[in-house]
Amino acid sequence: MKILIVYTTRHGCTEKCAEKLRGRLNGEVDIVNLKSAGSPTLSDYETVLIGGSIHVGQVQKKIRAFCLDHEAELKQKTLGLFLCCMEEGKKAQEQFDAAFSKALRAHAAAQGLFGGEFDFSRMNFLERKIVKKVAGVEGSVSRISEEAIERFAADLVRNLPEG
């Protein structure tokens, strides 16, 4: 079974999570960063996993556009949706719900909130200043949840069609 992980990232967190997820899946797993590689051909894959991150309160435009442009085709696939964000609980769920359409969320075999990180070494001066003020952190911090990635992979495998 061929699996595609499609993502975008601003500072590398979603890329890290996509790689961690790939390591937990069997079979042929391709990873495509929409920001650098453009939109892949979905007909080559039975399973499509889509991941983005929250930047300035919203998921990246390329993820929103990809989901909108391919919604009908995605609903014919085994689908997984994940989000990287620093929020937790209800606020994180609200960001997830805003990132992906109700139809895709209802169709998804796996959904995940993988946590997030602030990597000051990959931020410009203004981004660091905003994060310090808004999030109240003074330096790089990672809250990537290995458990959430493992749970997502297990949910996905459990919901894959036989064969």
Neighbours of 11 (CB within 10 A): 20
Query: Does 128 reside within a domain?
Result: no
| Locus of tokens 């993820």 | 63
Return the pLDDT at 162: 67
Count the domains in the chain: 1
Mean pLDDT confidence for 125-154: 85
Query: Does 150 reside within a domain?
Result: yes
| Locus of tokens 């960063």 | 33
H-run or E-run covering 3: strand 2-7
Query: Does 101 reside within a domain?
Result: yes
Q: pLDDT by residue (tens digit) across 86-110?
A: 888 999 999 999 999 999 999 999 9
User: In this structure, are residues 35 and 6 in contact, taking their beta carbons and an 8 Å threshold?
Assistant: no
Read off the tokens for 128.
């660091």
Q: What SS3 class is residue 85? A: coil
- pLDDT-based confidence at 7, cuts 50/70/90? very high
Residue 7 sits in a domain whose CATH number is 3.40.50.360
Return the pLDDT at 12: 84
Return d(Cα 153, Cα 19) in angstroms, integer.
Answer: 12
Q: What SS3 class is residue 96? A: helix
Mean pLDDT confidence for 142-152: 93
Return the pLDDT at 31: 96
Return the pLDDT at 40: 86
Given a cut of 90, whether residue 5 has pLDDT beyond it is yes
Return the pLDDT at 46: 93
pTM of the model: 0.89
Q: pLDDT by residue (tens digit) across 31-65?
A: 999 988 878 889 999 999 999 998 777 888 999 99
Query: Does 149 reside within a domain?
Result: yes
Q: pLDDT by residue (tens digit) across 111-136?
A: 999 998 887 878 778 887 877 787 77
Query: Does 122 reside within a domain?
Result: no
Query: Does 96 reside within a domain?
Result: yes
Query: Does 67 reside within a domain?
Result: yes
Mean pLDDT confidence for 59-86: 94
Query: Does 135 reside within a domain?
Result: no
Q: What SS3 class is residue 160? A: coil
Return d(Cα 45, Cα 29) in angstroms, integer.
Answer: 9
